[in-house]
Amino acid sequence: MAEVVGVARIDLTGDASGVEAAVARAKKSIDSMSREAQAHYSKLSAAEKRRVDALTSLQGGHAIRRIALHAERHTVAVVGAPVHEQALRNKGRGMA
């Protein structure tokens, strides 16, 4: 039979403002890159456009997976680090 010696509680709080700001910056950056790429593409010759279209269709799936993986790693770094730091501060105060 198990005996209960005590109860522990962990409170985690987070501030999403940093994440929200990073997402807003990323959206602006992607929008800007997209506009620049579209402007550059419109200036290409027909042969160059066919070449770009062929490369895009070959690499499209791989590029999307790479972008998603990068975004996931960045999100973990941005969100995970503050949570870990707060846990360490709480441990130092005897709260963990």
> Which stretches within 1-96 are classed as H helix?
17-42, 46-92
How many Cα atoms occupy the beta-carbon half-sphere of 72 within 13 Å? 6
In a domain, residue 53? The reply is yes
Give me the number of domains the chain comprises: 1
75 phi, psi to nearest 5 deg: -65, -45
pTM: 0.41
Q: Does residue 1 fall inside a structural domain?
A: no
Q: 51: domain range?
A: 24-92
The per-residue pLDDT for 11 is 81
- Backbone φ and ψ for 13, nearest 5 degrees, come out as -125, 155
The pLDDT confidence band at residue 68, using thresholds 50, 70 and 90, is low
Domain-located, residue 35: yes
Provide, rounded to the nearest whole percent, the portion of the chain with pLDDT above 90: 0
The answer to whether 12 and 88 are in contact (CB under 8 A) is no
The mean pLDDT of the chain is 76
Instruction: Flag whether 12 is in a domain.
Output: no
